[in-house]
Amino acid sequence: MILTHLHADHVGWNTREVDGEWVPTFPSARYLTSRIEREFWATYDMEEARKQMFRDSVIPVEEAGLLDLVDVPAEGVEIAPGLHLLPTPGHTPGHIAVELTSQGETALITGDCIHHPVQFAHPSIGACVDIDPEQSEASRRKLLGSLADTETLVLGTHFAPPTAGRVITDENAYRLAPVPAAPQTVSQ
């Protein structure tokens, strides 16, 4: 499992409660996040709700030896064939986007680098929970610039439908050109 960052809405399914204890949901899986991300939260003065989230959803995975911390350089890192992690700091210091390539096609999961499609047209609009709003905007602009007018399918983790599309240059900004879902066939 790849954790783009360690916010509650991105780690909440890491664990489940069994007999009053929080245990990894997938005990045979590896859970990956960036080293910068985990090291940041290890020294962050958390409010009680966030501390509880870490006790429930992150620490049990660590204690089970299932959390892998990955160094993600500026150019990104391939962690498996066709699977790249790209640094997109700002929302959190170690935030990453996930790029998948297979059979000549590429898709990118934005994580929270892009929260809402309005940020394509206005990359300066941040999210109220961005730890470093200026860095978040810079990461968003860099990511959008690299995706613009390519065939890469962009998947937003918080977008209302349509959640997938391609980044198109639109004057001095961008827009998301939705990709319709393939028609579903019903077998009899």
Residue 47 confidence (pLDDT) above 80: yes
Alpha helix positions (H), 12-155: 35-43, 48-57, 59-63, 118-121, 133-147
Question: What's the rounded mean pLDDT across residues 155-170?
Answer: 92
Cα–Cα distance, 61 to 81 (Å, whole number)? 25
Annotation: CATH topology of 75-180: Metallo-beta-lactamase; Chain A (3.60.15)
Domain ranges of the chain: 1-71, 75-180
Please state the length of the chain. Answer: 188
> Strand, coil or helix: what is 62?
helix
- DSSP class of 183: P
Residues 59-91 pLDDT 10s = 999 999 999 999 999 999 999 999 999 999 999
How confident is the model at residue 188, as a pLDDT?
60
Residues 132-149 pLDDT 10s = 999 999 999 999 999 999
> Strand, coil or helix: what is 46?
coil
Q: Say if strands 153-155 and 96-102 run parallel, antiparallel, or are unpaired.
A: unpaired
Residues 6-17 pLDDT 10s = 999 999 899 999
How confident is the model at residue 187, as a pLDDT?
65
The rounded radius of gyration (Å) of the Cα atoms in the chain is 18
Mean confidence (pLDDT) of the chain: 94
**Residue 6 · residue 58 · CB < 8 Å:** yes
**Residue 32 · residue 70 · CB < 8 Å:** yes
